[in-house]
Amino acid sequence: MKYKKFAQCNGAPCSFNATLGECQCDCNEDLTYGSSCQYGFNETNVKLGSIIADGVAQYRYHNNESQINFLNEQLGSKLENLTDLRPYISCNIDFSHYLAEISQGRWLCVGFCLSDPDYCNQHGECLNEKSGPVCQCYESFLKSYHGPQCDLFHWGAGFYAILFGCLSAGLLLLIIIVIVIVDILEICWFDFQEDKLECTVWKTMCLCQMKSALEHFGRA
């Protein structure tokens, strides 16, 4: 069973799914896609009735000057190629910003996203919505883009996690190096003090021996 739900399916019919207990949109395979038929394909066939040309036809005429002038002057010339149809073609679809273009030897209605591939600045996916093009900006662990046309940039949480992790590791390494240097200096200072004390002791012993020797020599 099919129902019309223009608000939910953007003008496309929907079918009630008894298993899921809900209505599912039946998008036009040549025009829209998405769970609510909210996006339009970049290329779609020209709808019936999109080629509109004013025409004048006369099936019988009398052999008189007025009828001959009509044929010669007012009937117009024949079409030479596809481009001659441009004045008569319009993309009469529910989605805006579609333009008529020739592709592979036929007229197609081309979405704005295809006409302007740089609309999202190569930082997001361009989607044709009813109101016009919209951008779904790319996001990753390290960086993400935002803004109407993905023209703004900021680093993601992953970048800051890596940055602070590296800074923390660097700070920890610096602390370890400082501790090692301080320990080495303390060891060197302790050895120096021991050497200095030992040298002082030896000097004192030498002076004492000399003094004893001189005193002994004086008595003699």
Q: Are 133 and 54 part of one and the same domain?
A: yes
Q: Are 51 and 144 part of one and the same domain?
A: yes
Q: Are 60 and 137 part of one and the same domain?
A: yes
The predicted structure's pLDDT at residue 79? 60
The predicted structure's pLDDT at residue 14? 82
Whether residue 2 has pLDDT greater than 60:
no
Give the sign of the dihedral formed by CA 19, CA 24, CA 30, CA 32: negative
CB 7 within 8 A of CB 38: no
Q: Are 73 and 31 part of one and the same domain?
A: no
Number of H helices, E strands in the chain: 4, 12
The predicted structure's pLDDT at residue 199? 62
Give per-residue pLDDT as tens, 95-108: 888 888 887 778 88
What residue numbers bound the domain in which 189 lies?
Answer: 164-220
